[in-house]
A and B are shown apart, each in its own frame.
Chain A
């Protein structure tokens, strides 16, 4: 029986620059036909990891397989099958936008229809503009177009929507989603939680060169999650009494007078228990917010809230 081969398989990857270890025994698998986000703070090792998959560097230790092949020694066979969007640059500063896209297309056997792609990504207006005069967002769109124009099976996109306006971001997401519909695997890095939440089948949170959490968006947001119910009512309630009325892993605090926080596994039943207890004591709530943990909370919990 043949087990489905991962599109990307990274095992214990270590990458160093001089004394700095950028990637430290990182492992992850990417299932074919899915969108995978690698999420992490600056300097977490995302770009180094993705560029190792693209064959720009050899692992110092560990192994990387892309479509079952070695990105460095099998580069010749892999390059036509893999589309790459660099984090920045990637075009001659004097080349014109459409000229550059047509050039990359000309290196492939069956490229996309360049005119349709230009129209699809809204790049008609600046076709003759030299790359150096394009805005950051226009350069990003050209870079995305160059990644997909060769009709690859697998896409590596390094921060595909950095610097894009909301419309262009949405257009990029729609394109990635549609490519998934055609069976194309996408691996992208991002800082944007909403991007990871909207697009990904699988999210890997990376910090200090390691995967510190993996899963679907729902799994990640829930696992170890402490959801909250916040409500306001009469100050100085007996929170101990409320806690006895709730499941025993639930905590209740009153951080400010009259403002209460219920922390625990928030379910509809828990909300009902809280409001029932309040009704029993004839207490009217001012406001009540149920807040489930988002991917962003999870991300900040895992990678720390301080700037670095």
Chain B
């Protein structure tokens, strides 16, 4: 080393390129996503606090809206689980992805050794962890408030299937919006859709409480399909095949649209 070498510690700058092993990259990416999510107060509010408040209020909802026959807590809790899925797989995903596009994060990671599908796997892994947490906390609180789900272990499996399909449908819709609109527009649309589906999307209020004309429309929405599917499941009847088909169609159609329209920066 010559005396003219720059000050500072001895850093070996010689090239030695190479990608980390795929499982390590995926693990790091998912951990990073989770850390960022947990640090973001708005995300925690959206995914946990709002559903919890609505669940507690929902136990007395029959004094505000006519939920139909049965105990309010039994009707409301499956809907709140559906809302939790919506908040994580749609609103939270769309907003985060929109701003990742805006700030060049997707581009930067696109230039790293992480494969592009690895970006998606990181997001899915983070969503799964958050949803497990949401479903555990919300169903725990529901049970504490007197929720009596029917259907036993089979219903739990059916719920998991519906949650996977709902996540796929909402997630693809969220990526479709985030991948085509500007970040601010994504933020507005994702929040607006969340509120609209929460209030009138068949998520929490059973479909048979809606007027006949709008009921058929709501059955075709992923929110109506997931909400009604979960209510039927925990009523012990299992989801109607129609709900399952609707969710699959939304997932496939939006997924195809995403693969054709998604751009890496806005």
Residues of A within 8 A of B (CB): 54-56, 76, 79-82, 84, 86, 88-95, 99, 103-104, 106-110, 112-113, 116-117, 119-120, 146, 148, 150-153, 171, 174-175, 178-179, 182-184
Distance in Å: Cβ of B35 to nearest Cβ of chain A: 8
Distance in Å: Cβ of A148 to nearest Cβ of chain B: 7
Stretch from B81-89, B97-105, B167-175 that touches the partner: B97-105
Residues of B within 8 A of A (CB): 5-6, 8-21, 24-25, 28-29, 32, 35-36, 39-40, 99-100, 102-105, 107-108, 110-115, 264
Number of A-B contacts (CB under 8 A): 126
Give the nearest-CB partner of B13 in chain A.
A182
Inter-subunit contact B103/A89 (CB<8 Å)? yes
Inter-subunit contact A86/B19 (CB<8 Å)? no
In this complex, which of B5, B9, B21, B111 has the most chain A Cβ atoms within 10 angstroms of its Cβ?
A: B111
Inter-subunit contact A82/B111 (CB<8 Å)? yes
- Once bound together, how far apart are the Cα atoms of A99 and B32, in whole Å? 9
A-B contact pairs, 10 of them (CB 8 A): A54-B111, A80-B17, A84-B108, A90-B104, A91-B105, A106-B25, A108-B112, A109-B19, A150-B17, A175-B13
Of A80, A99, A112, the residue contacting B13 (CB under 8 A) is A112
Give the top 5 A-B pairs by smallest Cβ distance, nearest first.
A89-B104, A109-B18, A90-B108, A84-B111, A81-B17
- Give chain B's interface secondary structure class: loop
Give the nearest-CB partner of A76 in chain B.
B115
Given A56-B264, A150-B113, 13 more A-B residue pairs with CB atoms under 8 Å apart are: A82-B111, A88-B104, A106-B20, A107-B25, A107-B28, A108-B18, A108-B19, A109-B21, A110-B18, A112-B11, A120-B9, A146-B108, A151-B14
Give the nearest-CB partner of A149 in chain B.
B112
Give the nearest-CB partner of B24 in chain A.
A106
